[in-house]
Chain A
Amino acid sequence: MRPTATDSGGPDSPAGPTVKRTERPHPLTPLIRGWLLLVAIVLAVGREFLPDGRRGDGFRVPDLRWLFALVGGAVLVAAAAGFVSWWFTRFVIDDEEIRVDTGAVWRRSSRVGFERLQSVDIVQPFAARPFGLVELRLETGGGDSAPTLRYLSRAHADRLRGYLLARAHGERRAVGDDPAPTASAFSDLGTDDRPLVTVRSARLVGSFLLSTEWLISLGVVVVLLLIGQRFAVLSFLVPTLIPAVIGAVTLVGRRVVSMFHFTLAESPHGLRVARGLTNLTSQSVPLNRVQGVRITQSLLWKPFGWYRLDVDVLGYLSGHEENNRSEATTVLLPVADQDEMVRALRRVLPGVDVDSIELRRPPRRARLLRWFDAGALRYGWDERVVVTDHGRLVWRRDIVPHAKTQSVRISQGPLQRALRLADVHVDTTRGPVDAVARQLDPADARALVDAQVQRAWTGRVPR
């Protein structure tokens, strides 16, 4: 990040003698900013008004007029600010560099190296959809805020993404080479994307209704209602329950909305995930940067044979279950049957047949410490990956390629020491995957670590 010497929208960096053609984002951008604020205000104010209306105060007209004036003013200010920031935002994406210059008073110019580019995501916020505009996010995996270009027209963003991804994979080509892909308004796929798995809406909703969070909150509400009825304090309980019910419903609703029409597709450079009902997000998953895979199946999903797939991708820091935001997600498949799961897995970890890996169990005395899921503990490896299983209520299987191993760890607590057991961790980058071979015999644990270090070395250094 360095300040540019030029001001007043000077397009050219003083660094290069050649004059570069810089671009501004789409001219409708300031309008969208104002529009976004309007939508936000209307939603917030509307929420404030709802209880008032129910109370039967009635609207007082002068209030409303003032309100309109205020809202109008705020929208105008936002639009003006949007215009200024749009005017001073310029970007270059060409053969040499990616550079984004922003800021009217404090100028900042960020450059991103092509080789540091982890993923290029296209996000289409709900408010920008009527205008056909999108946001382009450049994920660098640095942990700092990703440079974002907002807003661009759909076709332009698609073209830039194709180019950037090609460059990130080391191909050299000109910016305009990519055939402009067409995309429909509801899915976010380009023409050269072949859908691999599409999650049907019914199954998505079903999977969320059977998710533990939902069932737990539902159970709490039901129990409270029963208690209320039993002790005749229902009228006191109901008002406190309403927020809880609303919270649970929004939780599920938000997930369904954000994961709606989830499509895993094959694109020229890795996989692509497109999802969303209101905000459309299309995100590329660079296969060579997948650090590990986690397969999850809760007990309730078992009868249906559903699985969930998560990946660790370098730079995606959201390692929590909560992947509701329109940002990059670590979810590869929110819900899939065995067939689709295997298909996706085969694509993410090519040449790995997890089923053929001989899985070992910990010694029987592990039952004393892990009485709840000792039967589910497994670990194993082949020449490409290491696999660990655990969990009975929610079964999880973590798969980490040797080549992506960051470090190998043994940990042993006092109880484990007394029972002669130890855990072996295979560390990966930040994310949902956490491969731990639990409760091994010390001799096995140490042998696993030494062998794993060796396998990581041979995996890392191809010969």
Chain B
Amino acid sequence: MDHDTQRDLPDLFAPPGESWRGLSPRYRAMRSLTSAVVIGVLTLVPAVVVALTSGLWWLVGMIVAVGFAGLAVRLVVIGRNFRSWGYAERPTDLYLTHGVLFRRLVAVPYGRMQLVEVTSGPLQRGYGLATVRLQTASPGSGARIPGLTPAEAVRLRDRLTERGQSQAAAL
């Protein structure tokens, strides 16, 4: 889990402490597989239809090739997106960064967190993953960390709520 992702980030999104903590590699696996399934279906259905109706094999080959190219691009995007995630717990606040094209870094004080919850859908559960969601009184600063292992998610939630309670400040 302690998958350090010290990389070629510019200064602007540098980790506040020693390094960012990243997501579980299983998250990348999950997203890669779902993309592969979706793109596979989107490619194979027209390919089979074309093959059965017209028998234009060069067209079938092209469709499959486009599908593979799309999948390759998608996998690269997923990899970059996966690596872009990072969070760091500091004494008074949580730093969180993500995004490839539109990058974001948010610093949420523990004392401002109104709600911290752990969710896990059926797909995520199958991969042994969970999402931590946190909310403040501001609509702009809601943050979400997907793809943590359940143990890490629960640890993070307990840590955040505990610190949130001890540092809670009046609105």
On whether the beta carbons of B140 and A414 are closer than 8 Å, the reply is no
Contact call B169/A408, Cβ cutoff below 8 A: no
Contact of B102 among A291, A314, A412 (CB under 8 A): A412
A446 interface neighbour in B11, B103, B111, Cβ under 8 Å: B11
User: Is A430 an interface residue, CB under 8 A from the partner?
Assistant: yes
Measured in the bound complex, the distance between the Cα atoms of B136 and A413 in whole Å is: 24
Selected interface stretch from B12-20, B53-61, B75-83: B12-20
Asked if A289 and B171 sit within 8 Å, CB to CB, the answer is: yes
Q: Decide: B107 and A414 in contact? CB cutoff 8 A.
A: no
Q: Roughly how many angstroms separate A428 CA and B137 CA in the complex, as a whole number? A: 7
Question: Assuming A411-B104, A453-B92, A461-B169, is B12 touching A428 (CB within 8 A)?
Answer: no
> Judging by beta carbons under 8 Å apart, are B171 and A409 in contact?
no
Interface size for chain B: under 10, 10 to 19, 20 to 34, or 35 or more residues?
20 to 34
Q: Which chain A residues border B104 with CB–CB below 8 Å? A: 409-412
Q: Are the C-beta atoms of A409 and B107 separated by less than 8 Å?
A: yes
* B122 is an interface residue with CB less than 8 A from chain A: no
Select one of B12, B140, B169 contacting A409, CB under 8 A.
B140
Cα distance, A403 to B169, chains bound together (Å)? 9
Judging by beta carbons under 8 Å apart, are A443 and B11 in contact? yes
Contacts of B11 in A (CB 8 A): 442-443, 446
Flag if B139 contacts A430 (CB, 8 Å).
yes
Instruction: Write the nearest CB–CB distance from B20 to chain A, whole angstroms.
Output: 14
- Given the complex, which residues of B lie within 8 Å of A408, measured CB to CB? 106-107
A288: nearest chain-B partner, CB-CB: B170
Whether A456 is near chain B, meaning CB under 8 Å from some CB there, is yes
- B103 touching A412 by the CB < 8 A rule? yes
Point out the residues of chain A lying under 8 angstroms from B136, CB to CB.
406-407, 427
Of B12, B92, B109, which is in contact with the most chain A CB atoms at under 10 Å from its CB?
B12
**Taking CB as reference atom, which chain A residue is nearest B90?**
A453
Q: B101 near A: Cβ within 8 Å? A: yes
Taking a contact as CB atoms under 8 Å apart, the answer to whether B141 and A406 are in contact is: yes
Q: Determine whether B167 belongs to the interface, using a CB cutoff of 8 Å to chain A.
A: yes
On whether the beta carbons of A314 and B105 are closer than 8 Å, the reply is no
Q: Is B105's CB under 8 angstroms from A407's CB?
A: no
Find chain B residues with CB under 8 A from A456 CB.
Answer: 109
A428 to B138, CA, bound (A): 5
Q: Check B121 for interface membership: any CB of A closer than 8 A.
A: no
Q: Indicate whether A409 sits within 8 Å of B141 (C-beta atoms), given known contacts A314-B171, A453-B109, A460-B109.
A: yes
Nearest-CB residue, chain A, relative to B142? A407
Complex interface residues of chain A between 356 and 401 (CB less than 8 A to chain B): none
Q: Which residues of A contact B92 (CB under 8 A)?
A: 453, 457
CB–CB A429/B138 < 8 A: yes
Contact call A414/B101, Cβ cutoff below 8 A: yes
In the complex the two chains form, is B12's CB within 8 Å of A406's CB?
no
Contact A407 B171 (CB under 8 A): no
Tell me which residues across on chain A come within 8 A of B106, comparing CB atoms.
407-410
Q: Which chain B positions have C-beta within 8 A of A428?
A: 138
Given A409-B106, A446-B11, A453-B93, A425-B169 contact (CB < 8 Å): no
Query: Residue of B at shortest CB range from A441?
Result: B12
Chain A 438-456 near chain B by CB (<8 Å), digits 1 or 0: 0000110110011011001
Given contacts A406-B136, A410-B13, A443-B11, contact A427 B141 (CB under 8 A): yes
Q: Does A271 contact B (CB under 8 A)?
A: no
Query: Chain B interface (Cβ within 8 Å of chain A)?
Result: 10-14, 16, 92-93, 101-109, 111-112, 136-141, 167, 169-171
**A-B contact list, 10 entries, CB within 8 Å:** A406-B108, A406-B109, A406-B141, A409-B104, A427-B136, A443-B11, A443-B12, A450-B16, A453-B92, A457-B109
Known: A406-B137, A412-B12, A460-B167. 13 other contacts (CB 8 A): A314-B171, A405-B109, A407-B136, A408-B107, A409-B106, A409-B107, A409-B141, A411-B103, A413-B101, A414-B101, A422-B12, A452-B107, A453-B109
Closest 6 CB pairs of A and B: A407-B141, A406-B138, A442-B12, A427-B138, A460-B169, A410-B105
